[in-house]
Chains A and B, each alone.
Chain A
């Protein structure tokens, strides 16, 4: 194999702990040392239900986890699982975030899960964590000692508004030292983050989400322009994103049909 060491067929894993993170949001822990970089994902199989990609959200010594939010049939089935229940996994797959100094991390909703292991590796990052309301904000305790800006759409916690407003404010401050912005969340938000970064001439890395079948760059369903999200991504840098005209605008359904990003999300959820 001319690829990184990984599990190619679904492997049995027992849940060692389930942690409540927010409304409909839970982290599932496994006592297993996973050779994984920040931003990578695993394919998680629930027999008789489906298999889905999940970003790895905790990498501890001899332990890892992913964080899910209930949106459909698969996540509802996952939500019912408890300590000692079994799931099957293969991976990890995909590209990872670079680790650079003077970083800002912008997470929207459960998108925070994809940037959380990155935050653990960064030196003093500024974190903008946004969600619809307080009950949907994850990892507040986890990052209580970090430079955290919490934002909610309804103002029920932290600042009222959007993550992108806070990012603009931050970059507008002439004393800011931010050189790179890492982001994961709704694609419309990430596109705005990317545009803001371009305007302020700051590097950007975004973790994209698409329907996935194989997870290893073969089936061709997760393509954004000529980039294969599961293999070349999910993390893309400014240079790559600037060539991806479909980023923030179009996505493909499981059938391969190209639709607008809004239609994709309405069918997907």
Chain B
């Protein structure tokens, strides 16, 4: 009932662990698989080992979740040794990569491709990372990155992860598609800040961070809706999906699959099964037999 096809990859359900949540180790991939996810996205890796920011890097309240973890990671070379391969795990794995310079995106992609992930996701849009160039905000740069990654990915499909913190997300998505992207992941977090009035300081050590959680959902739904009208490639709709109804809404906006990250904070490791059960219950009640029936239906 929940089967979807994403870039030729069969997923048992449309829920995908979003990058940056868990996804650091092989064991955690299997654990998320056991908890019912359709696929898992690894925490982003680049050409070097990074420690990330000092704490606090993450906290949340009500419907708002903040993070500025600062892309810590063991680096692609260590990851290649650690993971060995990604095509023999319990569920499909999406390898998330980035670099600072265009060439580095290519080099990291080549090494990631050697692990044989189902899809390679390109993180050009971390809102608290200084890449050196605004790859997520300038369509020319987005296209350049996309071309380099595509060239180095071989037959593995690539998805470009876009930022909501731009003037016009449509032109960025269009540039990615034209440059050879097989999918779009939308969206990364929106920038935000929280100041503790007793400390009289920003709480995040990085001061500025990304906002996720239910508060991000309306922005994500709008972005997915706009991108769906612009491109033909599938969209992994990510941002604030916490309940089954959120996933249904995201698919109606045009998403082919659903990213869930902060939902793990709000509903625990079991969030994938819960969201799937809620989606199925809604579908049965509304006599929807498969998800293709509702994909993009809000545009009609």
Contacts and interface: CB of A to CB of B under 8 A. Distances in A.
Q: Which bucket holds chain A's interface residue count? A: 35 or more
B50 interface: yes
Contact of B58 (A47, A49, A213, A223): A213
A219 B74 contact: no
A49 B30 CA distance: 35
Contacts of B266: 1-2
A139 interface: no
A51 B55 contact: yes
A214 B57 contact: yes
Contacts of A88: 196, 198-199
A217 B78 contact: no
A90 to B, nearest CB: 7
Per DSSP, chain B at the interface is loop
A226 B268 CA distance: 15
Interface string A143-165: 00000000000000000000000
Interface stretch (A7-15, A168-176, A191-199): A7-15
Interface stretch (A96-104, A181-189, A253-261): A253-261
Interface string A1-37: 1110000111010000000000000000000000000
A86 interface: yes
A10 B28 contact: no
Interface in A245-259: 252-258
B69 interface: yes
Contact of B61 (A8, A218, A220): A8
A242 interface: no
Contacts of B196: 10, 12, 47, 88
B201 interface: yes
Interface residues of B, number: 43
Interface string B55-74: 11111110000000100111
A226 B29 CA distance: 9
Nearest to A48: B201
B49 interface: yes
B75 A216 contact: no
Nearest to B82: A258
A225 interface: yes
B55 A45 contact: yes
Nearest to B34: A226
Contact of A255 (B25, B49, B55): B49
B267 A257 contact: no
B73 A255 contact: yes
A221 interface: yes
B165 interface: no
A256 B198 contact: no
A66 B18 CA distance: 35
A50 interface: yes
A52 interface: yes
B269 interface: yes
A256 B55 contact: no
Contacts of A255: 49-52, 72-75
Contacts of B82: 257-258
Given A213-B69, A255-B74, A257-B78, A218 B58 contact: yes
Interface string B24-62: 110110110000000000010000011110111111110
B115 interface: no
Contact of B203 (A9, A252, A253): A9
A90 B117 CA distance: 37
List of 4 A-B pairs having minimum Cβ-Cβ separation, nearest first: A51-B55, A257-B74, A220-B22, A226-B27
28 contacts: A8-B60, A8-B61, A9-B59, A9-B194, A10-B59, A43-B55, A43-B56, A45-B55, A47-B199, A47-B201, A50-B205, A51-B205, A213-B69, A214-B58, A214-B59, A217-B264, A218-B22, A220-B21, A220-B24, A223-B27, A226-B28, A252-B25, A255-B51, A255-B73, A255-B75, A256-B43, A257-B82, A258-B74
Interface of A: 1-3, 8-10, 12, 43, 45, 47-52, 86, 88, 90, 213-214, 216-221, 223, 225-226, 228, 252-258
